[in-house]
């Protein structure tokens, strides 16, 4: 049998298996991440299922190690609560990439089976283990039953013949393979790689190559164990493992003989990992940022390669270089070896361990129009941000960051490229026409009898990246209990009436602009937070203060129609025609209001 057939056979009762067979496969280690983990728990609870074996079950919080996103933080806490109840181990936000933790911690080993909500769980092919990324329901089934059904895939053998060029890294090898096979030629296959040079590949190099099996459409890229890798695993885990190889008469559906000596340093062009080209074809492409990390290239060898380029040099002016080790242990090793010092002195930013740019919550994302060169495994549009992402090896990324453009360590310029002043940023507003601003507002009143409503209640910080005022209104009050649906019910012209210290807290302008976006005609409060008051006046958002007792005096009820005169301070309850006085605009406020705002 092939390697994958052997592993599946030993985990499904021991009988021989062949491609196309469907069997229940026992899973040695069952993982869920912060991305998908909450849904795994929900699937278990909703279906009345429990955990078959907590000792084989783990959470890995690697997508958002900072918990900087509210939904990630919520999901992480939800998973922690479940883990406490069930006695499940958590590799929390300080740990690193789950697949690497599994390898380094002996949770996966040669001949084992491992599943995770990580599509790159097939990285386990690096140690001749069967790793699979699966959806939330699959993982929930694995947690509940200890096994999942699986269709035995056909196997393909790739023989890498000839010597390995000195300047070709593991990342270059897998990019060359992607260039040959594309994204779907190996779809659904288990790919075994052989060759005299592959016997010399280190654990880190095998991880880099196996991790991009997903991008090739393969079930996994699997290497037979070598003495060197078994020795590395023993050193890391303290455990001795048996060799795993294919049978001498293993049957492969296809065999490919490829000349490794013809491989060259490569990059993947933005949009598709398989759109690969020799570096010479994109050399001198100006970049805005670089990223070194991910499950593909966050090992200590990768960091050493980057440090060898960066030592004694500086990141080019205006370029940002972000470096994220795969695990906390690797981070600490980099610290002990002086690599962190080299990175910092070069001007790079070093983050805590995790998935980084591949996940939308940690460093490594780029913005619209930004050109990034990255060691990640994917550069699909929008995957690592809204810019353009080239994929390359750690040494190439480091060299490019120093040069300011895509290049190799052997062709660093005497002076880095600098950005030209191209005046690409232009206003989206063609012309602002000043029109007369009404001095009277009339509309339905929302009476919210609460003091100290802060800016997080008005417009939560999870929306602070929004810069288009048209998008802000929908989030007004969505963090104020009882008024989460305010934005859906409010109508243009409505008036908001609140208590003391409205707009306390942060200085965010969006807490004013969201009401302008909704068309709220004015806000009445007993008093305002100092910064909020200035923000509102400067944005020409009509705000006025009233004295205690005016609500009772006017017999105001929630939903009444009222009229407010900004110049005189006259307020009228149109339901009963009762009049009262509140504080009118002061002169500076009126001048700014009539001007359409401070600017």
Structure token digits, residue 272: 């598709």
Phi, psi of 547 (to 5 degrees): -90, 150
Q: Which residue has the tokens 């707009």?
A: 503
| Start-end of CATH 3.30.499.10 domains in the chain | 3-262, 273-411
275 within 8 A of 308, measured Cβ to Cβ: no
pLDDT of residue 425: 63
DSSP string, 226-249: -HHHHHHHHHHHS---------TT
pLDDT of residue 415: 93
DSSP letter at 134 equals -
pLDDT of residue 359: 65
β 22-26/147-151 pair status: antiparallel
Q: What order of strands is seen across the sheet that includes strand 89-91?
A: 89-91, 57-60, 29-33, 113-116, 130-133
Residue 538 CB contacts under 8 Å (≥ 6 apart), including other chains: 592, 597, 598, 599
How does pLDDT run across 464-505, given as a tens digit for each residue?
A: 888 899 999 999 999 999 999 999 999 999 999 999 999 998
How does pLDDT run across 413-455, given as a tens digit for each residue?
A: 999 998 887 666 666 655 555 557 899 999 999 999 999 999 9
Quick count: other Cβ atoms within 10 Å of Cβ 590?
16
Phi, psi of 115 (to 5 degrees): -130, 150
Selection from 490, 495, 498, 518 nearest residue 444 by Cα:
495
200-233 in b/e form (b: 16+ CB < 10 A) is: ebbbbbbbbbbbbbbbbbbbbbbbbbbeebbebb
pLDDT of residue 423: 65
CA–CA gap between residue 352 and residue 350 (Å, rounded): 7
Q: In 3-state terms, what secondary structure has residue 155? A: strand
Phi, psi of 211 (to 5 degrees): -65, -20
β 522-525/388-391 pair status: unpaired
pLDDT of residue 500: 95
Residue 206 CB contacts under 8 Å (≥ 6 apart), including other chains: 125, 126, 127, 170, 223, 229
Structure token digits, residue 284: 């001198």
Q: In 3-state terms, what secondary structure has residue 146? A: coil
Quick count: other Cβ atoms within 10 Å of Cβ 413?
13
Structure token digits, residue 51: 């955990």
Q: In 3-state terms, what secondary structure has residue 587? A: helix
CA–CA gap between residue 122 and residue 115 (Å, rounded): 9
220 within 8 A of 4, measured Cβ to Cβ: yes
CA–CA gap between residue 285 and residue 372 (Å, rounded): 10
Angle, CA of 79, 80 and 81, to the nearest 5°: 90
Sites in the chain below the pLDDT cut of 70: 66-68, 359-362, 422-435
DSSP letter at 21 equals -
What are the start-end ranges of the H helices in 222-363? 227-237, 300-310, 328-336, 339-346
pLDDT of residue 64: 79
- Terminal CA-to-CA distance of the chain, rounded, Å? 74
pLDDT of residue 379: 85
pLDDT of residue 365: 79
CA–CA gap between residue 531 and residue 373 (Å, rounded): 41
What Å distances lie between residue 350 and 60, 331, 332, 342, 359, CA to CA? Answer: 21, 9, 12, 11, 16
pLDDT of residue 62: 87
Superfamily of domain 273-411: Aconitase, domain 3 (3.30.499.10)
Superfamily of domain 3-262: Aconitase, domain 3 (3.30.499.10)
DSSP string, 34-65: TTBHHHHHHHHHHTT---S-GGGEEEE--S-T
Structure token digits, residue 362: 């940690």
Angle, CA of 74, 80 and 85, to the nearest 5°: 135
CA–CA gap between residue 119 and residue 135 (Å, rounded): 9
CA–CA gap between residue 537 and residue 69 (Å, rounded): 31
Q: Which residue has the tokens 């909020």?
A: 532
pLDDT of residue 35: 77
Structure token digits, residue 293: 């990390």
DSSP string, 68-87: -SHHHHHHHHHHHHHHHHHT
Structure token digits, residue 170: 């593991």
**Angle of helix 170-181 relative to helix 203-211, nearest 10 degrees?**
30
Structure token digits, residue 510: 């969006």
DSSP letter at 410 equals G
pLDDT of residue 63: 83
The answer to whether the predicted template modeling score (pTM) of the entire model surpasses 0.75 is yes
Selection from 423, 535, 514, 532 nearest residue 468 by Cα:
514
CATH number of 440-594: 3.20.19.10
Q: In 3-state terms, what secondary structure has residue 450? A: coil
pLDDT of residue 590: 96
CA–CA gap between residue 316 and residue 203 (Å, rounded): 32
| Start-end of CATH 3.20.19.10 domains in the chain | 440-594
Residue 228 CB contacts under 8 Å (≥ 6 apart), including other chains: 199, 200, 202
CA–CA gap between residue 54 and residue 83 (Å, rounded): 9
DSSP letter at 215 equals G
Q: In 3-state terms, what secondary structure has residue 221? A: strand
């Amino acid at each position: 049998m092939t390697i994958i057939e052997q592993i599946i056979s030993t985990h499904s009762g021991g009988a021989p298996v062949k491609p196309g067979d469907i069997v229940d496969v026992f899973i040695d280690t069952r993982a869920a991440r912060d991305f998908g983990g909450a849904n795994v728990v929900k699937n278990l609870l909703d279906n009345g299922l429990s955990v078959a074996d907590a000792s084989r079950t783990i959470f890995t919080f690697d997508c958002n190690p900072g918990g900087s996103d509210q939904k990630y933080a919520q999901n992480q806490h939800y998973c922690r609560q479940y883990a406490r109840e069930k006695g499940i181990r958590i590799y929390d936000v300080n740990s690193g990439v789950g697949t690497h933790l599994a390898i380094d911690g002996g949770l996966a080993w040669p001949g084992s089976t491992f599943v995770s909500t990580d599509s790159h769980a097939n990285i386990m092919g690096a140690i001749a283990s069967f790793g699979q990324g699966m959806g939330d329901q699959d993982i929930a089934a694995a947690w509940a039953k200890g096994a999942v059904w699986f269709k035995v895939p056909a196997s393909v053998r790739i023989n890498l013949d000839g010597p390995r060029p000195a300047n070709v890294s593991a990342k270059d090898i897998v990019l060359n393979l992607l260039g040959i096979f594309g994204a779907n030629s190996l779809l659904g296959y288990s790919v075994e790689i052989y060759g005299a040079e592959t016997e010399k590949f280190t654990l880190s190099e095998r991880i880099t190559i196996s991790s991009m099996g997903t991008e090739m459409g393969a079930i996994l890229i699997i290497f037979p164990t070598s003495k060197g890798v078994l020795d590395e695993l023993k050193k890391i885990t303290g455990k001795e493992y048996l060799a795993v190889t294919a049978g001498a008469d293993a049957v492969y559906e296809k065999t490919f003989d490829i000349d490794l000596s013809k491989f060259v340093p490569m990059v993947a062009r933005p949009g598709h990992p398989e759109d690969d080209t020799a570096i010479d074809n994109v050399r001198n492409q100006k970049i805005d940022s670089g990223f070194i990390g991910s499950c593909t290239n966050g090992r200590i060898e990768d960091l050493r390669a980057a440090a060898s380029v960066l030592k004694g040099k500086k990141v080019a002016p205006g370029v940002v270089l972000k470096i994220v080790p795969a695990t906390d242990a690797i981070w600490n090793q980099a610290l002990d070896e002086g690599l962190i010092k080299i990175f910092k002195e070069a001007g790079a930013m070093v983050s805590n361990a995790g998935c980084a740019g591949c996940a939308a919550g940690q460093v490594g994302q780029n913005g619209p129009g930004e050109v990034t060169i990255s060691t990640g495994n994917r550069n699909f549009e929008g995957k690592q941000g809204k810019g353009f992402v080239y994929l390359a090896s750690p040494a190439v990324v480091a060299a490019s960051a120093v040069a300011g453009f895509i290049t190799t360590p052997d062709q660093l310029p005497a002076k880095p490229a600098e950005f030209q002043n191209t005046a690409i940023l232009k206003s989206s507003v063609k012309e602002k026409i000043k029109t007369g601003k009404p001095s009277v507002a009339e509309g339905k009143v929302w009476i919210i009898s609460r003091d100290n409503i802060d800016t997080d209640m008005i417009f939560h910080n999870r929306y602070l990246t929004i810069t288009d005022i048209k998008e802000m209104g929908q989030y007004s009050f969505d963090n104020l209990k009882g008024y989460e649906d305010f934005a859906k019910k409010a109508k243009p012209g409505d008036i908001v009436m609140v208590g003391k210290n409205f707009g306390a807290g942060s200085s965010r302008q969006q807490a004013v602009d969201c009401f302008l976006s909704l068309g709220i005609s004015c806000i009445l409060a007993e008093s305002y937070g100092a910064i909020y008051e200035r923000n509102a006046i400067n944005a020409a958002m009509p705000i006025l203060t009233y004295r205690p007792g005016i609500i009772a005096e006017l017999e105001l009820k929630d939903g009444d129609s009222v009229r407010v005169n900004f110049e005189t301070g006259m307020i009228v309850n149109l339901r009963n025609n009762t009049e009262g006085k509140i504080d009118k605009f002061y002169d500076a406020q009126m001048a700014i209001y009539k001007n359409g705002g401070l600017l």
